[in-house]
Every structure is written in C-alpha cells, then in structure tokens.
C-alpha cells in the first residue's frame, strides 16, 4: 500500500493511542512489521507543546520512516500552523484525529465531535492539506451516533480535499468502546472512495484481520488494543495476510528478551521517575497476555519502587516463565 511517496512494508498498521504508542512502543511494533505507527495525538495548540508530555510526544529521534504525527484540534488555521511546525520538526505524514471520543477532546469540538459539522471538516482538511507538502491522513469514527452515521459523507469530503488515506473505527462516538465494531459502514466507505482505507476496531487475531479485509474491501487494517502486551501481533497478522500462513510461535526466552529490551528503551526515553511509571502499564499487559496466573507477578512488578527493582523483578518473572518445561516453552 502507498501513502503519498511512501510504500508501506505491510498493510497492518498500529493505531494511535495516547499513553501507549510512545516512541519506544512504536519502534517495537515496527520491528514486528507494523506498516506504520502514528504518534500519540498532539494538540494543535502550540502553547501546550512545552510540557514534558508534549515534548516526549514530539520526539521522533531515530524513528523509522515514515514518521507520522497525529494532530487534534478544531480550528483550521491553528491546525494548519501546527501541521507546518511538525513537518519542520520531522513529521513525514500528518494524521488528523476526528475519532477520539474523550470528553476532554470532544468538549472543545475536537476529535469525533467534528463529525457533526461537515462544513468545518472540509475547511480543516483543505487548510491542512494546502499548508504542508507531505501526505495528510485522517482518522474517523463512523459518525456521531447511530442515527447520524455520516462516515461516507466525511470520507467523500476527505477524498475531495486531498486526504491521502483514511482510517475508520467501526463505532460511532456515542458507542465509545461498547459493543462490537461494525464493518458495514467501513465497507460502504471503501466502496465510495479511491484513497486507501484502513479498517479499525476489535481486530485482535490474524483470522479477524483477514475476515475484516474480506468483508470491507479495505486496503489495510489498523490494530490498537490487541497490541497491548503483544507487539508481536503484527508478525502474525502480516504472515496471515501476505502468505496465508501461521507464524511459528516465538521462543519464550526470546519473548523475555523482547520485554526486557522494551523496558530498557522506556527507561532510556523517559528517565528514572517517569520510566518506572510508564513501564508499569506495559508490564501489566505482558503479565495478562502471557502468564497463567498474573496476579502475583503483577503485584510485584507494579509495586517496584524504581527501575532497577522493576527490571530485576521482570527479569526473574519472565525468566521463570521461559524456563517452564520444554514442552510448554513456546510463547505467543
């Protein structure tokens, strides 16, 4: 699949997730074959960019290309200026967030709230596309609520405005994350536009990825929560989509090494204080994904006061897990 000048190495991409898809996690997912990995969303309001959180979000040093920066905002000129500034800082694709359901975002008519104002959507897209000479992509939900599923209209507006690719989460804003994602609207969208479309929502196995692509005719899949504690999912999905095969399971010792290397990269990126806190979330997910009885290990790992203790606990916990009798010594 191609987005502007970039030929993606695979059709399975990582979904942008605030608080999750930081630079270390994006890099990890890319090594397992995620075709693209957008940054956590950044506010278009540049007055917020000096905070440590934003500075980390805007750090792309050493990141594999193409570097995708997601922006959230509602004012066309502010978004255009933010896009230009981020391109100057190294963004190679600008992604616009019209999918986030959070009150904090929607209250200010950002994220998925924008879907209620199609004229404003058009003004935003026109302003941003003409402000930068890199591809601009868009992420949406299917509409504001089930009575107002205007995803097809928004997609047609996006194509007309020069958007290079579209990701569609198969829920309305009112659905938040409840119920199951529906793919019928994504199919309708794909049938009406020629730009690449990523289907998103509840894709958690290679089989599901295949089924969603078949059902929607989408060009690729976008995977979010199923990557939590399982960055290797992209390897399995790519093998299924590309070659129709199952990947051999990873060796448990290799999984342990991947987790420890992930911890190291988190500590290096955030430093001691934030590093130990941010690593907790990922460790919790690794425990849930891999261990039969995660409660005890979780408690130890999440209670560790500093990075040295946390790393040592993780090493012990996942080394014990890796040494389980040879017959069971395969991982995910």
Ligand X SMILES: Cc1cc2nc3c(=O)[nH]c(=O)nc-3n(C[C@H](O)[C@H](O)[C@H](O)COP(=O)(O)O)c2cc1C
CB of residue 297 to ligand X, shortest distance in Å: 22
Of 231, 238, 293, residue with least CA distance to 263: 231
CB 226 within 8 A of CB 208: no
Candidate ranges 16-24, 258-266, 278-286, 316-324; the one touching ligand X (CB under 6 A): 16-24
Among 33, 73, 201, 231, binds ligand X (CB under 6 A): 201
CA distance to 96, 137, 237, 318, per residue, from 164 (Å) = 11, 5, 24, 42
DSSP 201-242: SS--SHHHHHHHHHHH--SEEEE-GGGTT-TTHHHHHHHHHH
Of 124, 132, 131, residue with least CA distance to 140: 124
How many other C-beta atoms can be found within 10 angstroms of the C-beta atom of residue 124?
27
Binding mask 58-97 for ligand X (x = CB under 6 A): ------------x--------------------------x
Whether 156 is catalytic: no
CB of residue 328 to ligand X, shortest distance in Å: 29
For position 43 contacting ligand X by CB under 6 A, the verdict is no
Paired sense of beta strands 6-7 and 2-3, if any: antiparallel
Please identify, using beta-carbon distances, which residue of 74 and 203 lies nearer to ligand X.
203
Among 8, 11, 36, 41, binds ligand X (CB under 6 A): 41
Torsion, Cα 168 171 173 177, to 10 degrees, reads -120
For position 203 contacting ligand X by CB under 6 A, the verdict is yes
Q: Residues with Cβ < 8 Å from 19, sequence gap 6 or more? A: 40, 281
Angle at 225 between CA 271 and CA 195, to 5 degrees: 105
Among 8, 79, 91, 100, binds ligand X (CB under 6 A): 100
CB 65 within 8 A of CB 92: yes
CB of residue 89 to ligand X, shortest distance in Å: 18
CB 71 within 8 A of CB 38: no
Binding mask 247-286 for ligand X (x = CB under 6 A): ----------------------------------------
Please identify, using beta-carbon distances, which residue of 5 and 107 lies nearer to ligand X.
107
Phi then psi for residue 53, to 5 deg, are: -60, -50
What is the DSSP-derived secondary structure letter of residue 38?
Answer: B
Among 148, 225, 280, 313, binds ligand X (CB under 6 A): 225
Candidate ranges 14-22, 241-249, 260-268, 303-311; the one touching ligand X (CB under 6 A): 14-22
Among 6, 10, 16, 278, binds ligand X (CB under 6 A): 16
CB 218 within 8 A of CB 186: yes
Please identify, using beta-carbon distances, which residue of 187 and 252 lies nearer to ligand X.
187
Taken in order 160, 163, 167, 171, the sign of the CA dihedral is negative
Please identify, using beta-carbon distances, which residue of 97 and 311 lies nearer to ligand X.
97
Q: Interface residues for ligand X in 138-167 (CB under 6 A)?
A: 139
Candidate ranges 84-92, 116-124, 223-231, 285-293; the one touching ligand X (CB under 6 A): 223-231
Residue 276, CA atoms < 13 Å, CB-side half-sphere: 16
Options 100, 110, 161, 317, the catalytic residue: 100
For position 40 contacting ligand X by CB under 6 A, the verdict is yes
Query: Active-site residues: which are they?
Result: 100
Residues that bind ligand X (CB under 6 A): 15-20, 40-41, 70, 97, 99-100, 139, 169, 200-203, 223-226
């Amino acid at each position: 699949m191609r987005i502007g000048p970039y030929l993606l190495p695979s059709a399975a991409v990582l979904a942008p997730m605030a608080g999750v898809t930081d630079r270390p996690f994006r890099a990890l997912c890319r090594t397992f074959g995620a075709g693209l990995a957008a940054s956590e969303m950044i506010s278009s309001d540049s007055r917020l960019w000096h905070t440590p959180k934003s500075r980390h979000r805007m750090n792309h040093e050493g990141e594999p290309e193409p570097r995708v920066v997601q922006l959230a905002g509602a004012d066309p000129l502010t978004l255009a200026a933010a896009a230009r500034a981020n391109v100057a800082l190294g963004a190679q694709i600008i992604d616009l967030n019209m999918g986030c359901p959070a009150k904090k975002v929607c209250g200010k008519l950002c994220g998925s709230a924008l879907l209620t104002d199609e004229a404003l959507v058009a003004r935003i897209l026109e302003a941003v596309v003409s402000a930068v000479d890199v591809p601009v992509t868009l992420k949406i939900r299917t509409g504001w609520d089930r009575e107002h599923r205007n995803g097809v209209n928004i997609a047609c507006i996006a194509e007309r405005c020069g958007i290079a690719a579209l990701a569609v989460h198969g829920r309305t804003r009112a659905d938040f994350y409840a119920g199951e994602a529906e793919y019928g609207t994504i199919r309708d969208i794909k049938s009406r536009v020629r730009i690449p479309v990523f289907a998103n929502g509840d894709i958690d196995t290679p089989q599901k990825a295949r089924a969603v692509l078949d059902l929607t005719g989408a060009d690729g899949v976008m995977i979010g929560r199923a990557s939590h504690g399982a960055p290797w999912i992209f390897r399995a999905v790519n093998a299924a989509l590309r070659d129709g095969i199952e990947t051999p399971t990873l060796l448990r010792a290799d999984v342990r090494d991947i987790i420890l290397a992930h911890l190291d990269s988190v500590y290096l990126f955030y430093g001691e204080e934030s590093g130990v806190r941010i690593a907790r979330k990922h460790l919790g997910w690794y425990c849930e994904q891999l261990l039969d009885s995660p409660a005890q290990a979780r408690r130890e790992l999440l209670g560790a006061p500093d990075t040295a203790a946390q790393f040592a606990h993780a090493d012990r916990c996942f080394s014990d897990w890796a040494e389980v009798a040879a017959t069971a010594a395969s991982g995910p």
